[in-house]
Amino acid sequence: MHKIQREQLELLAKNCTKLLYEKCLQSNIQPTEIQIDCDWTQSTKENYFYFLSLCHKQSFFKGKVLSSTIRLHQLRNPKSSGIPPVDKGLLMCYNMGNLKLSGDNNSILDLSVAKKYLVYVQDYPLTLDVAFPLFSWSLLFDDQHRFSGILSKITEEQLKNAALFNPLGNHLYQVKTDTTWQGYNLKRAATIRFESCSTQDLTKLASLISGRVPNCSTIIFYHLDSLTISKYSNDDLEKIYRTMH
């Protein structure tokens, strides 16, 4: 979006629409809403917003709701961040911190950060739905505390392997010796931080949002796959939903 030319955006909108049409046809899906995800900035918003307007004009989008994801930081100053030309937005209430920062913080969900930004949500000029995080990940840092990557599909139970890791507390684990584990090359003294979202914190987040997004019609739990959902009971999810309403 930063370097693309206007004439390329027109082609991109047509190609994206064609792909959407073909995928829906193949899967026998008749969507009522199409959502486009982009973490735009002041330098990319003009191109991104133009792309959205081009998509909206495509015949495939006729009679369908066009929505765009909204990050928390885009709530604070809509005049400089811009408002995407869509029918509604999805407020992404996760990835609130710097995942590359070492230590025992949680970059997925930080309630103190959420509080700072959610004060602006009532004045946002788009109707908003809300997305809550259910996913987890493990973040790898080298012996100098430099970010080395995301270890996907690694559970905290696996990190409790005493033969490989020393527990440091607060979901931090230190590698005991150079090894290859679960397909990852780990060096001695590297640290791994496991990040997830407890039902308690998600319910607190729902309380912070409750009443601030009056026209919310949809609540999304991300990422809702079979492995992730097994960590939460139906009662847990219903409690979060009820807190929002």
Annotate 188-216 with b (16+ C-beta within 10 A) or e (fewer).
Answer: eebbbbbbbbebebbbbbbebbeebbeeb
Query: Cβ distance 97 to 110 under 8 Å?
Result: yes
pLDDT at 245: 74
pLDDT for 52-85, tens place per residue? 999 999 999 999 999 999 999 999 888 889 999 9
Domain ranges of the chain: 6-134+196-244, 138-195
pLDDT at 142: 97
Q: Is the pLDDT of residue 46 over 70?
A: yes
pLDDT confidence band for 14 (50 / 70 / 90) = very high
* CATH class assigned to 6-134+196-244: alpha beta
pLDDT for 97-142, tens place per residue? 999 999 999 999 999 999 999 999 988 999 999 999 999 999 999 9
pTM of the full predicted structure? 0.89
Q: Is the pLDDT of residue 36 over 90?
A: yes
- For the record, the structure tokens of 154 come out as 């690694």
If one compares 79 and 162, the residue with the highest pLDDT of the two is 162
**Average pLDDT for the chain:** 93
Q: Is the pLDDT of residue 40 over 70?
A: yes
Q: Is the pLDDT of residue 178 over 70?
A: yes
Q: Is the pLDDT of residue 207 over 80?
A: yes
Query: Cβ distance 220 to 132 under 8 Å?
Result: yes
CA–centroid distance for 139 within its chain: 16
pLDDT at 224: 65
